Structure 1
Amino acid sequence: IALGGGSNIDLAKALCLTLPAGATIRSFIGRIDSATPVLPLVAMPTTAGTGSEATPGAILVDPDNATKIAVMDNRLRPAIALIDPEFTFTCPPRVAADAGIDALTHAIESYVTMDAAAFDFGDDPDPGYSGRTALTMLFARESIRLCAEHLRRSHTATDPVAMREARVGMSHASLYAAMSYGSAGLNAVHGIAYAVAGLTDLSHGTTNAVMLPYVLDALRDVRRDELLTIARLFGIDDADADVAMARLPVVLRDLIGALGVPVTLEACGIREADLDTLTRDALAVTRLAKAFPVPDVAQRYARIVRSAWSGELSFDEGRAHPPLDVQAA
């Protein structure tokens, strides 16, 4: 039984492998043999963000190099997920914001990831992640809508009724995001965020948040319809679709900043001299890099990392509108 946030649930998933096998978790990195016994798990999340209660992976830190690695198998999906929003009511505002950004990232990333028909399954007949489908996109879209409505209020609300409403909304958003990315998978935001975490020891939500706007900015040529849909969910109502899509990363960056999270890699403590190493480490997370739906993954990663360090977005120079109040979106 796992009670806690994503780290607790992921640790429990690891124990479900190591206890019956009497082996270290290192022996399960990569594909897990179907004969390997796995204990059943009951997961009860106390944060609204990671979605680990409905996904097949345990994300762990390798102490030898501080890099995050994944232990993946569909049998690691908890047998029972008990999601009670009341478990999140006492979550501190900063933690609620960090977890909520993680949920939003999961939803958006899985909404724009590689199609299932084009996904590289390798030789695995039952992969944990297998690309997006119409069903995963349905869950992702609803999660994004809920995040646009409740994420900021889950951090800032002081009225007990408003806080409860926001925390309930984010609990639903987190689960729907998990039901999307738990099948569709993730890509560049998480791939680069893992490398950022290795250099900074910042929280998972923070490293995701700082990368999200810059990854979306780099997808406007390949995910036009999807980004326009997300922009509309965040209340971006420009009649010109290109303007609306260009504004989306700026609006998300403003939201992230309003939650007290750094919005550039430089603000995270990353040195410019570290950017090439950071890009290389991010590309080494191949399961995520190969799902990034662009023809030039390495070049895009390099451009995204540089933009995230300097804080440059395509819309910045011609910005003609004030930030949206996404709390009211």
Structure 2
Amino acid sequence: MTMFGTLRTPRNLVFGAGQRAALPTFVNMLGKRALIVTDERLASDHTFAAMVDGIRTLGVQVQIFPGTIAELPASCIAEGVAAGRSFGADVVIGIGGGSCIDAAKVIALLLTHGGKAADYYGEFKVPGPVLPLIAVPTTSGTGSEVTPVAVIADPDRAVKVGIASPHLLPHTAICDPELTYSCPPSLTAISGADALTHALEAFTTARRQLTHQIVHEHVFVGKNILSDHYALFAISHIASSLKAAYDDGANIVARERLMLGATAAGLAFGTAGTAAAHAIQYPVGALTHTPHGAGVAVMMPYVMEFNRSYARADMAAVAGALGLETEGMSEDERAGAAIDAVADLFASIGIPRTIADLGVSRDQLPIVAEQAMGATRLIKNNPRPLDLQSMTSLVAAAFGGDRERLRA
């Protein structure tokens, strides 16, 4: 097989405890009027205030927009754009969880190119560079600081929608694990499970037919040698740190490894893409109003089981990255052990076992299956082809907690 790899990454990626102190100099290099996109809780945090003071010390004017709302409704995007436009922002900084960083991406896009978010839904719809973006995550989860996609909730659509373009990649990402120390166990669990799902789906996603234009034909190009490297790296770090960080938020080593793994997972799926677990979470999340990370994590063991016969070698490799003892096992047994280990890890940090536990009712299953099939940018990445019938079976298994029925 011809070796092929590509990465879509920020120009600068800085990782390490205390590295938020590098933020002011990066901002000063890019602009003199900085719009900071965050949420209400962070806007009143003393560590956040210290970062803002550091930026102002270099003579950069700052406008804080604290109106980001979880799951990112379109209304808060419009408010952020209005704030940035009246201020005359020439650089945008997202500080917070994935919603804050995604909001910063879309606000920078609309400040540059105008229109409304719906004008850019899909892939390659952004016509050119956006205002310089800096991303500073405060959770170990979405990996949005290193990805070319932003996902928002549109009131005119039943499910969340994505804007995917290399132009949405931040110029600079600063990943400081100290900013995650205050994350409560529930947020640590949900965001960390989201990150592990990103890595698992990126590593097992479909490998596309190689063309000389593949990077221009797809934002997410499918499985490749470079995304595989980051995916396995992420799986290893997250699997060894997630439970420890959940149990003890003061465990500095676990916090560092978890954030490093989450960022690596972002590098993996930001190039390769995600698949069925994310496609199903969109309608599940819309129906139940549960956190994105919880929804994708619930689905992941079922999706792995569904895909097992089409990605057996990859799942066997996942067992190794998870640190499982698999000597003497067949490839299929190693794949099965990996699926069991992922399910057990998620259970140990309080992730529900079924989509019924999330609040999906039996009569909603046809809606979930139909709307999940509408997420074509995700469905096309799944290693096992999906149609409405097979999607219906997958969703039913996740509702009833029956992984065994998915074994092909």
TM-score by length of 2: 0.72
Q: Distance in 2 between matches of 1:71 and 1:296?
A: 23
* Percent of residue pairs identical: 34
Name the SS of the counterpart of 2:108 in structure 1: helix
Give how far 1:260 is off: 1.3
Aligned partner of residue 276 in structure 1, secondary structure: helix
Q: Which residue of 2 aligns with 1:168?
A: 256
Residue 105 (structure 2) aligns with: 13
RMSD: 2.2
Contact 2:136–2:173, Cα closer than 8 Å, also in 1? yes
TM-superposed deviation, 1:118: 5.8
Deviation at 1:127, TM superposition (A): 3.3
Asked if the contact 1:105/1:209 (under 8 Å) is kept, the reply is yes
Residue 59 (structure 1) aligned to one of 143, 151, 155: 151
Question: Are 1:240 and 2:332 matched, yes or no?
Answer: no
| Cα 1:269–1:125 shift into 2, 3 Å | same
Rounded to whole Å, the distance in 1 between the matches of 2:142 and 2:217 is 22
Question: 1:36 deviation in Å?
Answer: 4.3
C-alpha distance in 1 between matches for 2:165 and 2:159: 20
The alignment partner of 1:291 has SS state of: coil
Instruction: Tell whether the 8 Å contact from 1:58 to 1:72 is kept in structure 2 after alignment.
Output: yes
Distance in 2 (CA, whole Å) between partners of 1:295 and 1:118 is 18
User: Which has the larger displacement, 104-113 or 11-20?
Assistant: 11-20
Matches of 1:31 and 1:281 in 2, distance apart? 19
- Listed one character per residue, the Cα deviations across residues 182-241 of structure 1 (whole Å, up to 9, x for unaligned) are 111111111111121111110010001110000000111111111111123334434332
Q: Deviations over 1:306-325 (max 9, x none)?
A: 11001012299xxxxxxxxx
Q: CA deviation at 1:300?
A: 3.2
Q: Distance in 2 between matches of 1:296 and 1:91?
A: 37
1:82 aligns with 2:165: no
Question: Conserved in 2, the CA contact under 8 Å of 1:101 and 1:209?
Answer: yes
The alpha carbon displacement at 1:296 in A equals 4.3
Match in the other structure for 1:281:
371
Consecutive aligned runs of 4 or more in structure 1 exceeding 6 Å deviation: none
**Counterpart for residue 348 of structure 2:** 258
Using the alignment, how far apart are the partners of 2:353 and 2:306 within structure 1? Answer: 16
Give the equivalent residue in structure 2 for 1:112. 204
Deviations 1:95-120 (A, max 9, x none): 1111101110010000000114369x
Residue identity matched to 1:201: H
2:403 pairs with 1:313: yes
Matches within 5 A, 1:1-329: 1-33=93-125, 35-117=127-209, 125=216, 127-157=218-248, 160=250, 163-238=251-326, 239-241=328-330, 242-314=332-404
Aligned to 2:61: none
1:327 maps to what in 2? none
Q: Give distance in 2, aligned partners of 1:237 and 1:73.
A: 40
Describe the SS at the equivalent of 1:267.
Answer: helix
Q: Which has the higher contact order (CA 8 A, sep 6+)?
A: 1
Amino acid at match of 1:156: D
Change (3 A) 1:22 1:190: same
Q: Larger Cα Rg: Structure 1 or Structure 2?
A: 2
Structure 2 Cα separation of the partners of residues 29 and 22 of structure 1: 14
Q: Which moved more, 1:277-286 or 1:256-265?
A: 256-265
Mapped partners of 1:220, 1:297: distance in 2? 17
